[in-house]
């Protein structure tokens, strides 16, 4: 089981847990505002953008090529940006914090 | 605000991309009253695009790609009723009737009834355990079952649109012997340029899908366990199963019976309001004037369904909002991801940019009318797609010769005229 904390744009903190699926699915299933997941997780919509807490960046790892390109011209992109549909949930993510980018 | 809504009911017909997003957007915008969401399909609402993609070729079911988790409906107090079909709207009484005879009253009504596969009047062509449209989870399951049950795995797809080509790719990946029959002289004729059509024809042919254009299917015969497809030019194709992807019929029957204005879909204004001010319509079922293109259009895309849902929800909650979104769409076939933004119709100049990287497929098509960028098609090229989105949204126009110059990286700073 991995516990993941989402911080919304409104500054609200939501603690959720799951042991499989993607981070986007976890967020959508729990109605985390700002994570829409419109394309269903195929890296086509960029509506699942999060900023990983810098200290957790090692755990999530860097984006893949396609994902990096999807983020490149996003107004809210920063060096810790990820598309959360591309982050698979494993034990290794336990304890991470993600800020919703939109 | 909107305390007036506390004792009201917003009733939504159709719980797919449009209807479900509208229900959640209503809560977000402050709707305090009831939200009732009806769909005739039995499943929890799911993403449709995977039906022709990973759902056909992989081991995932629709339950793996739900639009929302079941608990979200509860937590947002959205009364989702699946497996329930609405048969009639009585706008004067503000009531809808369900197929079991029950009635349900509303204050605001939202039609999100989408579209259904078109089954053209061809002798022998009707849904069966071997002949399928592809719109629902049940259709996709039927296709998978028929495919695995057949020994020959010969699949004929009628119609070379996105859904037909995606289904062809997915079943080819599973070892199917797939033929696509297209009536026009090229696949995707109605939706994209000859260049993109040629690209996808080559992709499919290289992968072993047989694509036959100029094939007008005139009859289908069942011969024992086999189907035979006859075309106007005298050609015939034997098959174990058939997928029909020749377009859709818009689900306007309820709206029509209710006396709402219909054009190429349910007619709505920029606020998604129909000709009855208490009835809104969103998604694939609507026909609307798009301010970007200055003409009446109907779109079939997740983007359009979701964005119209948000606009309708805001207006229903008393927050005046108009629809003007930039259209975008994607399609996944084999190892190719196509991403499109804008609408290319009316272009008079096309710039094709082929990158020199490792991926032979990677390229982008930039459609112009004069100096004006209209649309971008990007193949395995998210960067081109996102740049196109950004420029189109900001109303900026890149210089064609700069796009053609491979020494310039794709970036707003480098490509602008
Ligand atoms: C196989 C396939 C692949 C696709 N791929 C892509 C893609 O890659 N990218 C993309 O952007 N778009 C894609 N699309 C299009 C996208 O799925 C549609 O644009 C989207 O589903 C439209 O949503 P909607 O809610 O308007 O309509 P629909 O999804 O058609 O939903 C309408 C709902 O209304 C219900 N309904 C209708 N009448 C009644 C009634 N009388 N009573 C109760 N319920 C009723 C239906 O059961 C249905 O669930 C694809 C579509 C298909 C079928
Ligand atoms: S859900 Fe669409 S890009 Fe992540």
Residue-wise pLDDT tens digits, B172-218: 999 999 999 999 999 999 999 999 999 999 999 999 999 999 999 99
Å from CA of A46 to ligand 2 middle: 5
Q: Which residues of A touch B303 (CB under 8 A)?
A: 38, 45
Q: Which of B163, B180, B197 is nearest to B231 (CA)?
A: B180
Taking the CA of residue B308 as reference, the ligand 1 atom at the shortest distance is 26
Kindly determine whether residue A29 and residue B76, on different chains, have CB atoms separated by under 8 Å.
no
Q: Please, what is the average pLDDT of chain B?
A: 96
Lowest mean pLDDT among B17-31, B47-61, B235-249, B255-269: B47-61
Q: Which two tokens stand for residue B133?
A: 């449209």
**pLDDT-above-90 percentage for chain B:** 93
Tell me the ligand closest to A36's alpha carbon: 2
In this prediction, residue B61 has a pLDDT band, given cuts at 50, 70 and 90, of confident
Helix or strand (DSSP H, E) at B199: helix B194-206
The CA distance from B113 to B388, in Å, is: 31
- According to the model, what pLDDT value does residue B254 have? 98
Residue contact A69–B71, C-beta within 8 A: no
Q: How many angstroms does the Cα of residue A44 sit away from the middle of ligand 2?
A: 6
Query: C-alpha B99: how far from its chain's center?
Result: 27
Report how far residue B407's alpha carbon sits from residue A74's, in angstroms, rounded to the nearest whole number.
23
DSSP state of B326: P
Task: Tokens for B3, please give them.
Answer: 């305390």
Q: What is the pLDDT of residues A25-36, one digit of tens each?
A: 999 999 999 999
Domains, chain B, with CATH or none: 9-114+251-316 (3.50.50.60), 131-248 (3.50.50.60), 335-415 (3.30.390.30)
B191-228 as b/e, with b when 16 or more CB fall inside 10 Å? bbbeebbebbbebbeeeebebebebebeebeeeeeebe
CA gap A41, A89 in Å, rounded? 13
B411 — pLDDT class (breaks 50, 70, 90): very high
Mutation pick for ligand 2 pocket among A27, A83, A101 (CB with most ligand atoms within 8 Å):
A83
Interval between CA B135 and ligand 1 midpoint (Å): 7
Provide CB contacts within 8 A for B59, sequence distance 6+. none
Instruction: Report the pLDDT averaged over residues B255-259.
Output: 97
Nearest atom of ligand 1 to the alpha carbon of B39: 44
Tell me the per-residue pLDDT of B338-369, one tens digit each, with 9 for 90 and over.
Answer: 999 999 999 999 999 999 889 999 999 999 99
Q: Does A30 touch chain B (CB under 8 A)?
A: yes
Q: What is the pTM of this model?
A: 0.96
Whether chain B has a CB inside 8 Å of the CB on A43: the answer is yes
Whether B243 contacts B209, CB under 8 Å: no
- A66 to chain B nearest CA, in Å? 6
pLDDT of residue B126 exceeding 90, the answer is: no
Percent of chain B residues past pLDDT 70, beyond the cut: 99
Q: Which of B55, B114, B168, B287 to mutate to test the pocket of ligand 1 (most atoms within 8 A of CB)?
A: B114
Query: What pLDDT does residue B127 have?
Result: 77
pLDDT band at B63 (very low <50, low <70, confident <90, very high): confident
pLDDT (tens digit, 9 = 90+) per residue, A29-81?
999 999 999 999 999 999 999 999 999 999 999 999 999 999 999 989 999 99
Catalogue all structural domains in chain A, each as residue range(s) with its CATH number: 2-100 (3.10.20.30)
Average pLDDT estimate for B398-415? 93
B191 DSSP β-pair partners:
none
When scoring B63, B71, B377, B382 by the number of chain A Cβ atoms within 10 A, the one with the most, hence best to mutate, is: B382
DSSP class of residue A6?
Answer: E
Measure the CA–CA gap between B69 and A18, rounded to whole angstroms.
13
Q: What is the pLDDT of residues B297-333, one digit of tens each?
A: 999 999 999 999 999 999 999 999 999 999 999 999 9
Cα-based distances in Å from A93 to A30, A52, B374: 18, 11, 42
What is the ipTM metric for this complex?
0.93
In this prediction, residue A96 carries a pLDDT of 97
Averaged confidence pLDDT in chain A: 95
Question: What pLDDT shows up at residue B204?
Answer: 98
Check A42 against B49: CB less than 8 A apart: yes
Question: Encoding tokens for residue B14?
Answer: 């159709």
Q: Does A16 touch chain B (CB under 8 A)?
A: no
Within chain A, residue ranges assigned H as helices are 23-29, 57-60, 65-71
Are the C-beta atoms of residues B346 and B379 closer than 8 Å to each other?
no
The rounded distance, in Å, linking the Cα atoms of B175 and B186 is 24
Mean pLDDT for B400-409 is 94
Q: Which ligand is nearest to the CA of A86?
A: 2
Who's near B368: CB < 8 A, 6+ residues apart? B347, B348, B349, B350, B351, B374, B397, B400
State mean pLDDT over B269-298: 97
pLDDT above 90 for B255:
yes
Q: Are strands B131-132 and B241-244 parallel, antiparallel or unpaired?
A: parallel
Q: What ranges in A50-99 are assigned the alpha helix state H?
A: 57-60, 65-71
C-beta of B340 in contact with ligand 1 (< 6 A): no
| Tokens read off for B116 | 């259904």
- pLDDT attached to residue B211: 98
């Amino acid at each position: 089981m991995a516990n993941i904390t989402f911080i919304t744009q409104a500054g609200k903190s939501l603690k959720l847990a799951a042991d499989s699926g993607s981070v986007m699915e976890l967020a959508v299933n729990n109605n985390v505002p700002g994570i829409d997941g419109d394309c269903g997780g195929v890296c086509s919509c960029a509506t699942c953008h999060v900023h990983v807490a810098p200290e957790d960046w090692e755990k999530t790892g860097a984006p893949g090529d396609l994902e990096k390109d999807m983020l490149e011209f996003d107004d809210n992109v920063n060096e810790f940006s990820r598309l959360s549909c591309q982050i698979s949930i494993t034990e290794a993510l336990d304890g991470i914090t993600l800020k919703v980018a939109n | 605000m909107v305390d007036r809504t506390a004792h009201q009911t917003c009733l939504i017909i159709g719980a797919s991309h449009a209807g479900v997003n509208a229900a959640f957007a209503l809560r977000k915008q402050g709707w305090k009253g009831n939200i009732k969401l009806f769909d005739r399909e039995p499943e929890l609402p799911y993403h449709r695009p995977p039906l022709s993609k990973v759902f056909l070729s992989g081991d995932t079911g629709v339950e793996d790609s739900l639009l929302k988790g079941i608990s979200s409906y509860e937590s947002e107090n959205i009364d989702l009723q699946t497996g329930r079909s609405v048969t009639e709207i009585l706008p004067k009484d503000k009531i809808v009737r369900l197929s079991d005879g029950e009635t349900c009253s509303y204050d605001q009504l939202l039609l999100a009834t989408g579209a259904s596969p078109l089954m053209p009047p061809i002798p022998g062509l009707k849904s069966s355990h071997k002949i399928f449209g592809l719109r629902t989870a049940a259709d996709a399951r039927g296709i998978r079952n028929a495919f695995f049950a057949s020994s020959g795995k010969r699949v004929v797809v009628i119609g070379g649109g996105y859904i037909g080509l995606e289904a062809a790719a997915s079943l080819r990946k599973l070892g199917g012997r797939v033929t696509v029959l297209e009536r026009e002289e090229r696949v995707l004729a109605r939706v994209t340029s000859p260049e993109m059509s040629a690209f996808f024809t080559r992709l499919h042919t290289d992968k072993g899908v047989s694509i036959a254009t100029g094939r007008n299917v005139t009859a289908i015969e069942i011969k024992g366990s086999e189907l035979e497809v006859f075309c106007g030019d005298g050609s015939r194709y034997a098959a174990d199963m058939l997928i029909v992807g020749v377009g859709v019929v818009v689900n306007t029957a309820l709206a029509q019976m209710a006396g709402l204005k219909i054009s190429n879909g349910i007619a709505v204004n920029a606020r998604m309001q129909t000709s009855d001010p208490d009835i809104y319509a969103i998604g694939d079922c609507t026909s609307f004037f798009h301010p970007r293109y200055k003409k009446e259009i109907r779109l079939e895309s997740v983007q359009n369904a979701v964005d119209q849902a948000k606009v309708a929800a805001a207006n229903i909650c008393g927050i005046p909002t108009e629809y003007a979104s930039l259209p975008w769409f994607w399609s996944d076939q084999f190892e190719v991801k196509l991403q499109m933004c804008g609408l290319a119709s009316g272009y008079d100049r096309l710039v094709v940019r082929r990158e020199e990287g490792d991926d032979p497929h990677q390229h982008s098509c930039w459609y112009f009318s004069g100096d004006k960028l209209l649309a971008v098609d990007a193949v395995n090229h998210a960067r081109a797609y996102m740049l196109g989105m950004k420029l189109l949204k900001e109303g900026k126009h890149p210089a064609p010769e700069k796009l053609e110059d491979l020494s310039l990286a794709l970036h707003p700073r480098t490509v602008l005229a």
